[in-house]
Amino acid sequence: MVLGTYKEVVTARSTDKEIQKIAQDGGIVSALFCYALEEKLIDGAVVAGPGKDFWKPEPMVAQTADEILAAAGTKYTFSPNVLMLKKAVRQYGLEKVGTVAIPCQAMGIRKMQSYPFGVRFLADKIALLTGIFCMENFPFASLQTFISEKMGVSPELVEKMDIGKGKFWVHTADDVLSIPLKETHGYEQSGCKVCLDYVAELADVSTGSVGSPDGWSTVFTRTDAGETVFKAAVEAGVIETKPVDTGKFGLEILTKLATQKKEKAMKEIDRRKEMGLPVPFKASSEKEDPLANV
């Protein structure tokens, strides 16, 4: 199962004009958190908030819609969101925590929930885990190289970054610049090379841009909790949906990309294991489905 277990997949976007303007894609993450906050399904959410340096995020606990919106948009570098979960519960006193997580962060959270060795009274307070798709991530210095060196833009002028159609894009107030993804090779984080999850298979709800037109998102509902929240948000008119397989978009491209990512990672896992290096995943020969995230 290259796309993980899911109940339903749709194309969707936030109906809020404000969110549409600032969100990365369909604004699903922001819309879901704002809705869940308002309905008191969560009492706060851990998001990748703005940091001291432009485009270098800092995990933050958002307790209002404004704070959630201040963190909208993708930052293509590390935001160790999992770290803030404990603070959200201990320092902020939250009982029902929402969090946005790339697939590997979801893995850290889910492992902690199944095996909370030293982590007391936190596992059952994660009320909504919204996962986002992820092909790879970059150290901050790589990002600086792309923007400042390769494109010659000053980071404070950048309004949006995006990866798509084989390119790394940067939007400023009056320019759209790009470099081919080829030029980003060698700048990725090495830990990503053994990653077997593209579409946040362990989230309650996962979302990403691939598979949907600009301004829209592809959304999987996976767990019972995820399905309930998403359906309620749609019913409340906060999110609008349409079927996923329209025109040139849809599951086909998503399946293709997920398969490519997993096949490449599986090869790297096998290679590293052969060298005697430790990898927490099974070798392809040890498992039934080489593309499963085990």
Partner 1 sequence: MLARIKQFLGIGAKPKEVPKEEVEKVAEEKAKPRIGYVHLSGCTGDIMSLSENYDILAELLTNMVDIVYGQTLADVWEMPEMDLVLVEGSVCLQDEHSVKELKEAREKAGLVVAFGSCAATGCFTRYSRGGQQARPDHESFVPIADLVKVDCAIPGCPPSPEIIAKTVVAVINGDMDYLQPMIDLAGYTEACGCDLQYKVVNQALCIGCGTCAMACQTRALTMTDGRPELTSARCVKCGICYVQCPRSWWPADRIKQDLGL
Ligand X SMILES: Cc1cc2nc3c(=O)[nH]c(=O)nc-3n(C[C@H](O)[C@H](O)[C@H](O)COP(=O)(O)OP(=O)(O)OC[C@H]3O[C@@H](n4cnc5c(N)ncnc54)[C@H](O)[C@@H]3O)c2cc1C
Which residues lie near ligand X (CB under 6 A)? 23-30, 47-48, 57, 71-76, 79, 81, 100, 102, 132-135, 137, 207-210, 217
Give the tokens for residue 48.
């990748």
Cβ-based nearer residue to ligand SF4, 43 or 136 = 136
Our CB check for ligand X shows the closer of 106 and 269 to be: 106
| Rg of the chain on CA atoms, in Å | 19
- Answer yes or no whether residue 2 interacts with partner 1 by CB under 8 A: no
For residue 146, the minimal CB distance to partner 1 (Å) is 16
Q: For residue 272, which amino acid is it?
A: R
CA–CA dist 156, 53 (Å, integer): 9
**269 contacts partner 1 (rule: CB under 8 A):** no
The residue behind tokens 């879901």 is: 32
Structure tokens at 231: 């359906």
Binding residue count for ligand SF4, defined by CB under 6 A: 12
Q: Indicate the SS3 state at residue 107.
A: helix
Q: Could you tell me which residues are beta bridge partners of residue 252? A: none
Residue 37 binding partner 1, by CB under 8 A: no
Minimum Å gap between C-beta 103 and partner 1 is 9
Tokens of 80: 């160790």
Closest CB 142 distance from ligand SF4, rounded Å: 12
Site for ligand SF4 in 105-134 (CB under 6 A): 108, 134
Burial label, 197 (beta-carbon count in 10 A; 0-12, 13-18, 19+): buried
Task: Tell me which DSSP letter residue 182 carries.
Answer: G
Find the part of the chain contacting partner 1 (CB under 8 A) among 107-115, 206-214, 239-247, 254-262: 107-115
- In angstroms, rounded to a whole number, what is the distance separating the alpha carbons of residues 147 and 135? 19
| Binding to partner 1 in span 147-186, by CB under 8 A | none
Q: Does 102 bind ligand SF4 (CB under 6 A)?
A: yes
57 binds ligand SF4 (CB under 6 A): no
Q: Which amino acid makes up residue 288?
A: E
Amino acid at 66: D
Residues that bind ligand SF4 (CB under 6 A): 102-104, 108, 134, 136-137, 189, 191-192, 195, 197
